[in-house]
Amino acid sequence: MNSMIGRWLVIGLAVVGLLGFATFDSNEPETEGERIQRLHESFACPQCDGQSVAESNAAVAAEIRNSITNEVADGATDTEIRDQLIAGYGGDVLLNPPSEGFSALIWILPVVVAVFGVGGLVAVIRRDDGGSRTASDADAALVAEAREQS
C-alpha cells in the first residue's frame, strides 16, 4: 500500500516537474515578429468567410496585415490596434467574438451546458437501481441469432 502511494508520488512529481520545466523554460519575451504573427491570426479577413488575415491571399487581408505591421512599428498597443481595425472594418473583423451584449451568450451558454452536463453526470451515477431486468423473448432470440452470425 505504501509502496503504491510512493510510486504514484514519484510519477506525479515527475509530471509536474516536466510540465513546469517545459512551461517556464520557454518564457522568453515575445519578439516583434511573433507579435505581428499573433495579431495577424486574431483578425478576420472581411471578405473571406472567417479566414484570418494571416491565412488569406485577398487584397483586403494584405491591407490589414500591412496596417497591423505599421501600427506595431509605431508602438501601438494590442487594444489600440484592435479598436482601430474595428473602427475601419466593423465588428466582424474580430475572429474572437466580443463578450458584451448579445454575443456574450456565446461564452455563457457553453458554461451553462458544462454545469448541466456535469450535474447530470453526477445525478445519473448516483441514481438508485430501479425498474425490472427482464427482456422479452424476442430480444433473447435476436441476440442468439446475432451471435450465430458473428
Partner 1 sequence: MNTTLGFAFTVLGLSASVLGCLGGAYALITNKTHLLKPVRQWAWLVFLAGVGAFVVMEVALFQRDYSVGFVQKVGSDATPPLYNFAALWSALEGSLIMWTLMLGGYIAAIMLKFKERLNDPLFGWALVVMLAVSGFFFALLVGPSNPFVDTAIPANFVGPGPNPLLQNHILVAFHPPMLYLGYVGFTVPFAFAIAALITGRVGEGWLVETRRWTVAAWGFLTFGIVLGAWWSYEVLGWGGYWAWDPVENASLLPWLTGTAYIHSVMVQERRGMLRVWNLSLLCATFSLTILGTFLTRSGVIDSVHAFADGAIGPWLLAFFAVVSGTSVGLIAWRGDRLRSPGAIDSPVSREASFLANNVLFGALAFVVLLGTVFPLLAESFDGTRLTIGRPYFDSMARPIAFVMLFLMASAPVLPWRKASNELLSERLFWPAIAAVGSMALAIILGGRGFYPMLTFGLGGFAAGAAVRQVVLATRRQGWRGFVGRTNGGMIVHIGVVLLAVGIAASESYKTDRTETLLPGQTMTVAGNTFTYEGLAADETSQRVKIFANVRINGDEVYTPGTSLYLTQGMNVATPSVKPGFTEDLFLVLDQVPDDRNPEGPVRLRVVVRPMITWLWIGGILMSVGTLLALFPGQRRRGTEAVSAAVTEPVPV
Q: Which residues bind partner 1 (CB under 8 A)?
A: 4, 7-8, 11, 14-15, 18-19, 21-23, 25-26, 37, 41-42, 44, 48-52, 54-57, 90-98, 101-103, 105-106, 109-110, 113-114, 117-118, 120-121, 124-125, 127-136, 138-143, 145-147, 150
Direct distance between the N- and C-terminal alpha carbons of the chain, in angstroms, rounded to an integer:
44
CB of 36 to partner 1, least distance (A): 10
Q: How far is the CB of 77 from partner 1 (least distance, A)?
A: 19
Smaller CB distance to partner 1: residue 76 or 86? 86
DSSP of 24-64, one letter per residue?
HTT-PPPPHHHHHHHHHHTBB-TTSTT-BTTT--SHHHHHH
User: Residue 72 Cβ, how far from partner 1 at the closest point, in Å?
Assistant: 15
The rounded distance, in Å, linking the Cα atoms of 138 and 150 is 19
Q: How far is the CB of 11 from partner 1 (least distance, A)?
A: 5
> In angstroms, how far is CA 53 from the centroid of its own chain?
20
Binning the chain into helix, strand and coil, the percentages to the nearest 5 are: 70, 5, 30
